[in-house]
Amino acid sequence: MRILFITATRVGDAVLSTGLLDHLLCIHPAARFTIACGPIAEGVFARMPRREATLLMDKQRFDLHWLRLWRRTVGTLWDLVVDLRGSALSFLLPARHRAVMRGGRRTGHKLVQLAATLGLAPPPLPVSWTNAADRAQAAILLPSGPSYIGLGPTANWSGKLWPPNQFAALFRAVRDQALPGARPVIFAGPGAAEHAMAAPVLAALPDAVDLTGRLSLPEASACLARCALFVGNDSGLMHLAAAAGTPTLGLFGPTPASEYAPAGRRTAVALAPGPLGAAPMDSLMIADAITAALGLLQS
């Protein structure tokens, strides 16, 4: 059995789709999978079992990336095509069965929206896949002994960023009240922009483990799994932390937590006061975030 799974270009949305893949892996134990996703999301699926190929969709003018994907997939008779992008491509491929996400604005959490494509309720939680090498590297970077508090001070646009000094203050409060001796770990992606967003937090926490730009996504997942807590802006790293099973606090202001709250076994959100999905991040009070983080650890 061969399954084509067309998913997101962004890391966060790609992570949220992994629960569907995990479900399909369970109910089709002999199936082989081809994943179509954006280049930055490739690592989400790098360690997925029975993944036959990953087809990267580099966005091109006039939507030519869809034509390129069609050319690479039209020669296969697919047993199932799952298309979370709601594209016309799915209907132009030879397939015995199709599950295509409908277009248009939807309500509810993104996880529920995605699960509806396969008629699943409740929706399966996201998962993260790592291998022994990823976990060994994580053990070197974050050796056993102290507790670790992961911090994710970056995001894909500036409006999502909580002030850096707030991250430092939250870490110190959580360490002193709940995790004595804990060390901060700063997670951020590669590139100058990510480094610039993380730099003020690193400067405020000189004893932090700096993992900025040092990890593949599977390695990041393995490191996140070694943290006692992760606190981060609405980002792909936040979703990856929740999928890794780490207690995860998401910080929200100008994006809707009702749609993009972290989805995992132990998660919570701290909301900036103001219009839902349109509040400024600097209005999120440090006391509220600390209370949410402590409550998550105590739950």
Q: What is the pLDDT of residue 59?
A: 82
Domain edges within the chain: 2-116, 133-298
Tell me the C-alpha to C-alpha distance, in Å, between residue 242 and each of 76, 189, 249, 267.
Answer: 35, 17, 9, 7
Q: Which fold would CATH assign to domain 2-116?
A: Rossmann fold (3.40.50)
CATH class, range 133-298: alpha beta
Q: What is the pLDDT of residue 276?
A: 84
- 167: tokens are 């991250």
What's the mean pLDDT when you consider all of the chain? 96
User: How far is residue 265's CA from residue 162's CA, in Å, rounded to a whole number?
Assistant: 24
Q: What is the pLDDT of residue 31?
A: 98
User: How far is residue 254's CA from residue 264's CA, in Å, rounded to a whole number?
Assistant: 22
> Does residue 64 carry a pLDDT above 90?
no
User: How far is residue 232's CA from residue 168's CA, in Å, rounded to a whole number?
Assistant: 12
> Does residue 115 carry a pLDDT above 80?
yes
Tell me the C-alpha to C-alpha distance, in Å, between residue 95 and each of 2, 91, 99, 285.
Answer: 10, 8, 10, 52
Beta bridge partners of 133: none
One fold for 2-116 and 133-298: yes
Q: What is the pLDDT of residue 116?
A: 96
SS3 readout for 142-164: CCCCCCEEEEECCCCCHHHCCCH
Beta bridge partners of 2: 32
The C-alpha torsion from 163 through 169 and 173 to 174, rounded to 10°, is 50
> Does residue 61 carry a pLDDT above 90?
no
